[in-house]
Amino acid sequence: MLGRILLLLGVACALHAPLQATEPRPLADVPIPTPGGKKINLRQYRGKVVLMMIISTTCADCIKSAEMINRIQKEYGPQGFQAVAAAGDENAQYLVEPFAQRYGLTFPVGYLNMSEMVRLADIPKDKRPVAPIFMFIDQSGTVRFQYYGDHPFFKTVDGSTRSIVQGLLKKQPERK
């Protein structure tokens, strides 16, 4: 059912005004399960710039984005960047591992159910955005930027992503 919802996202969002998540905002504490039974805790990446992607394993734009982010991970990882993805498909727990292997992803990939996606991405409960969803998180664990798949950001996704990552890497973490 979730897979069908993700497929219908494009049509639904075309009929509504663009969605807006609250930014900046603290990162929600939503552990991301992996097929091996472990959980990805985004808080473990404090001190790094994180790109959290919510994807569908059958979405062509999500696949292209994952491949692009794989290249960016290899390039910026040594500088303090970490990509993480979570699939929201129906039966995603069974689809994630073959997806990551097929596309040679070098960053952690897990899965989320709808309520976890809504909480993590601060999605208004009455809206369903277009996948992929990109959340850029700074070194202090604050979501600085978030884009849904129908945002103009995705027309220049490679250059836009690199620009944001470079800017966040240059910014010093806030002291608490």
Task: Determine the pLDDT at residue 77.
Answer: 98
Burial code (b: 16+ CB inside 10 Å, e: under 16) for 9-30 equals beeebeeeeebebeeeeebeeb
CB 87 within 8 A of CB 96: yes
Average pLDDT over residues 78-87: 98
So where are the chain's domains? 2-36+55-170
Task: Determine the pLDDT at residue 174.
Answer: 58
Task: Determine the pLDDT at residue 142.
Answer: 97
Question: Class of 2-36+55-170 per CATH?
Answer: alpha beta
